[in-house]
């Protein structure tokens, strides 16, 4: 019996669309030029010199004026859709609408739901729900251990047959090295990726923020960066010893980047993700005790932030993931130390990174696009690209557009975004996922007779 399709859901209606004179950028193929792009029956049917393609019965035409950028749709290997059991925070519909609004063409959902996604029947029902409700395709990582308890492995082979992309106990580490070793041995047999949240709970304890001068000044219990980096080093060594495939989640500090670089130099089959908030914010942003700045792992020092940007540039950090973690307003509107960890991120990831890293010249746009799409291949899925004959997985952005994050509300059910209220540059105007138009910005909504005007 062959395993089920790993990505489920998305809109069914294939797009019929002509994009005229857009600036197409696909860092892997080297495409970086003005193009007319015809999408027919959801596929990229024609790529031509600007001004050469005429409407051929398409329902919609969009003028890019040589200015709007067409990119491969982003891929997020780490989101919390909160279904089942926590739909007051998010559900598959709202979470994937947020993804589409952020330019993401597919996402991977985490299993720390209620109940925990740790069995084949639960995986089947989540996939059924995604088939009905998901705006963009969703992949799933069920739990490594039952109930995320760290004591008993899930039925990994059976879950793989049911379409699991891999496994994670995200929200928690796999505390016991022996248990993780067993999981790595099963991973090698049944395939998929083990995605690890790295934290030594005997070091992180009751901490609410990064341990350092600011936590001391505020009198808040801190989490030292070694709570992450010692576990990264341990588990990279185990992955190498078992020749298993491991992905490190939300890497947040310089010591972890160093441990990963050393393990990669030894040829271990490991990869790593980094989140926009860790690339852009530091412990300084926690001073005001805004609970939207409370996440795990915590925002660390400026030196850590710079090391993460360097790691992203060098490829030690392979991809960007949002760790989109919605929480209801009443859950976050409590004193800092009592608030749950997590920030939303799907709707701001591209603009925040463009504003913070690309616009000031820290990294180039091609690198950002490469890292925002690289997660797909890490989970053995096709990489989104702008290529003839492929299903349209595309994002159209206006790099000149400025907006205030959250000003017009959110697609997510929750609003605990660490970038809320910030002025950002770069706006996603349209997203196509698996051949369908899944998001259209209100700037494009002033359509007449199906004709879409490029936004100014
Ligand atoms: Zn985590
Ligand atoms: Zn997470």
Is the pLDDT score of 83 beyond 80?
A: yes
Cα 250 to averaged position of ligand 1 atoms, centre (Å): 7
Cα 98 to averaged position of ligand 1 atoms, centre (Å): 20
Q: For a pLDDT cut of 90, what percent of the chain falls above it?
A: 94
Cα 130 to averaged position of ligand 1 atoms, centre (Å): 22
pLDDT of residue 152: 98
Ligand nearest to the CA of 79: 2
Ligand nearest to the CA of 109: 2
pLDDT of residue 447: 47
Kindly tell me the burial class for residue 306, based on how many C-beta atoms sit within 10 Å of its own C-beta (0-12, 13-18, 19 or more).
Answer: middle
CATH fold for domain 73-378: TIM Barrel (3.20.20)
Average pLDDT over residues 74-87: 97
Average pLDDT over residues 135-140: 98
Residues belonging to the active site: 323
Is the pLDDT score of 2 beyond 50?
A: yes
Q: 0.85 exceeded by the pTM?
A: yes
Ligand nearest to the CA of 141: 2
Give 326's contacts (C-beta < 8 A, 6+ positions apart): 80, 82, 89, 90, 95, 342, 344, 412, 413, 414, 416
Q: Where are the domains of the chain?
A: 17-71+389-445, 73-378
Average pLDDT over residues 365-387: 98
Average pLDDT over residues 78-96: 97
pLDDT of residue 324: 98
Give me Rg for the CA atoms of the chain: 21
pLDDT of residue 456: 33
Ligand nearest to the CA of 171: 1
Cα 54 to averaged position of ligand 1 atoms, centre (Å): 48
Residue 260's Cβ-side half-sphere holds a number of Cα atoms within 13 Å equal to: 31
* pLDDT band for position 323 (cuts 50, 70, 90): very high
Contact (Cβ atoms closer than 8 angstroms) between residue 147 and residue 116: yes
Is the pLDDT score of 160 beyond 80?
A: yes
CA–CA separation, 374 and 226 (whole Å) = 27
Contact (Cβ atoms closer than 8 angstroms) between residue 350 and residue 302: no
Residue where the block lists tokens 């395709």: 137
Cα 109 to averaged position of ligand 2 atoms, centre (Å): 9
Superfamily of domain 17-71+389-445: Urease, subunit C, domain 1 (2.30.40.10)
pLDDT of residue 244: 97
Is the pLDDT score of 450 beyond 90?
A: no
pLDDT of residue 20: 97
Residue where the block lists tokens 């505390």: 175
Contact (Cβ atoms closer than 8 angstroms) between residue 6 and residue 348: no
pLDDT of residue 57: 81
CA–CA separation, 92 and 158 (whole Å) = 24
Average pLDDT over residues 192-204: 98
Is the pLDDT score of 272 beyond 60?
A: yes
pLDDT of residue 448: 39
Is the pLDDT score of 428 beyond 90?
A: yes
Is the pLDDT score of 445 beyond 70?
A: no
Residue 401's Cβ-side half-sphere holds a number of Cα atoms within 13 Å equal to: 22
**Helix residue ranges, H only, 59-218:** 92-101, 120-133, 156-161, 177-190, 201-204, 213-218
What does the angle CA 293 – CA 443 – CA 452 come to, to the nearest 5 degrees?
145
Average pLDDT over the chain reads: 96
Cα 323 to averaged position of ligand 2 atoms, centre (Å): 5
């Amino acid at each position: 019996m062959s395993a089920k399709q790993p990505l489920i859901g998305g809109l069914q209606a294939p797009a019929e669309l002509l994009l005229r004179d857009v600036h197409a950028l696909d860092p892997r193929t080297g495409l970086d030029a003005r193009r007319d792009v015809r999408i027919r029956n959801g596929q990229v049917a024609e790529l031509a010199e600007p001004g050469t393609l005429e409407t051929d019965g398409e329902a919609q035409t969009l003028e890019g004026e040589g200015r709007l950028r067409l990119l491969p749709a982003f891929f997020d290997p780490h989101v919390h859709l909160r279904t089942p059991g926590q739909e007051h925070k998010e559900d598959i519909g709202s979470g994937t609408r947020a993804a589409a609004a952020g330019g993401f063409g597919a996402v991977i959902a985490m299993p720390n739901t209620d109940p925990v996604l740790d069995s084949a029947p639960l995986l089947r029902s989540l996939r059924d729900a995604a088939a009905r409700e998901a705006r963009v395709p969703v992949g799933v990582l069920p739990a490594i251990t039952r109930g995320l308890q760290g004591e008993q492995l899930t039925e990994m082979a059976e879950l793989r047959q049911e379409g699991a992309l891999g496994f994670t106990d995200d929200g928690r580490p796999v505390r016991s090295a022996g248990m993780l070793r067993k999981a790595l041995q099963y991973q090698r047999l049944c395939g998929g990726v083990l995605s690890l949240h790295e934290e030594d709970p005997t070091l992180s304890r009751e901490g609410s923020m990064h341990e350092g001068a600011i936590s001391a000044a505020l009198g808040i219990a801190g989490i030292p960066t070694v709570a992450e980096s010692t576990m990264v080093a341990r588990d990279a060594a185990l992955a190498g010893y078992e020749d298993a495939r491991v992905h490190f989640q939300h890497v947040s500090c310089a010591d972890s980047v160093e441990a990963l670089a050393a393990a990669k130099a030894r040829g271990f089959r490991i990869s790593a993700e980094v989140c926009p908030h860790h690339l852009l914010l530091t412990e300084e942003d926690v001073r005001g005790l805004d609970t939207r700045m409370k996440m795990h792992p915590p925002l660390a020092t400026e030196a850590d932030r710079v090391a993460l940007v360097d790691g992203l540039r060098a490829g030690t950090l392979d991809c960007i993931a949002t760790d989109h973690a919605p929480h209801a307003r009443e859950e976050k509107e409590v004193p800092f130390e009592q608030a749950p960890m997590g920030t939303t991120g799907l709707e701001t990831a591209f603009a925040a990174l463009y504003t913070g890293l690309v616009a000031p010249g820290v990294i180039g746009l091609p690198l950002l696009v490469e890292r925002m799409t690289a997660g797909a291949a890490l989970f053995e899925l096709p990489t989104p690209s702008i290529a003839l004959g492929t299903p349209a997985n595309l994002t159209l952005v206006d790099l000149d557009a400025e907006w205030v994050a959250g000003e017009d509300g959110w697609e997510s059910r929750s609003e605990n975004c660490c970038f809320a209220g910030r002025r950002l540059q770069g706006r996603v105007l349209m997203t196509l996922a698996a051949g369908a138009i899944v998001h259209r910005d209100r700037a494009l909504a002033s359509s007449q007779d199906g004709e879409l005007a490029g936004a100014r």
